[in-house]
Structure 1
């Protein structure tokens, strides 16, 4: 049985909290993508970002790219590095294999946030919008370092061709 994906979010005193759970795949990433876009267009006033991945069972490269986008937002805004909580060894292995520790402070412990979080619904994306989201996520991933660039550049090139 696959665990239902869920995205919870709150922005409290200029700190944005993301709590993700379940299987995070490109097919259910539109809500997260929309939040990332709202961050970049300054519709959310975030001075600090906290991401809780403790209840995540699986994450694909698109979702990791969306996380990389959050880190890029913090760099561009000259904010502190985002904090990422994750106690799942499989997820942590993936995060470290894609060098996310270069962009995040990864804390391997449980969270006990007494924060009121709201569920974020998936957005209704067209096939073109879905493709653009996957492309942006992978571009953020390859922007992290050369190892990721070598691994994901072919994906980015293929997506660019398909989206023309």
Structure 2
């Protein structure tokens, strides 16, 4: 049974919790992008970030890039390294393969969250806005380390060319 793609969010005492479920593909990334923008602009006050990927069955490079952006946000704000929960072997292989363990404290066990979370709605992005979202995510991946740079720089270059950047 495939879990539908969903994003949930809660902020409890300035600790922000993001739960990503199902197949995480760029076609459904606008809600996550908007949430990231609200965190960066300080519209949402956040002193600590926790991400739950326990119900994620697939995660594409755009979502991985958004995770990298969240880690960079925490670093820039001098916040603790974000915590990422994931019990999914395939997802974990990808996280470690792209060196996200350098940017996150990865905990391979279920979360014990005891509060309700609100669903994050998708946003209506134009084709240009969606392209820029994908570009930003891949730029964050490239910035994470040299291994990712060699893997994703061609994607960044192609996106920039297509978007006229």
Q: TM-score range by the shorter chain?
A: over 0.9
Q: Over aligned residues, Cα RMSD in angstroms?
A: 0.7
Structure 1 residue matching 2:132: 3-state secondary structure: helix
Paired position in structure 2 for 1:25: 25
Aligned residue for 1:34? Answer: 34
**Matched residues in 2 for 1:123 and 1:2: separation?**
23
CA deviation profile, 1:29-73 (whole Å, cap 9, x unmatched): 000000001111110100000000000000000000000000000
Question: In structure 2, what is the equivalent of residue 63 of structure 1?
Answer: 63
Match in the other structure for 1:159: 159
* Alignment partner of 1:89 is 2:83: no
Partner of 1:113: 113
What's the CA shift for 1:2? 4.2
Q: What is the total number of aligned residue pairs between the two structures?
A: 164
Structure 1 segments, 4+ long, off by >6 Å, are none
- 1:75 and 2:72 correspond: no
Gaps of 5+ in 2: none
Gaps of 5+ in 1: none
1:116 Cα offset (Å):
1.4
Cα distance between partner residues in 2 of 1:130 and 1:36: 14
The corresponding residue for 1:126 is: 126
2:162 & 2:46 partners in 1: Cα distance?
34
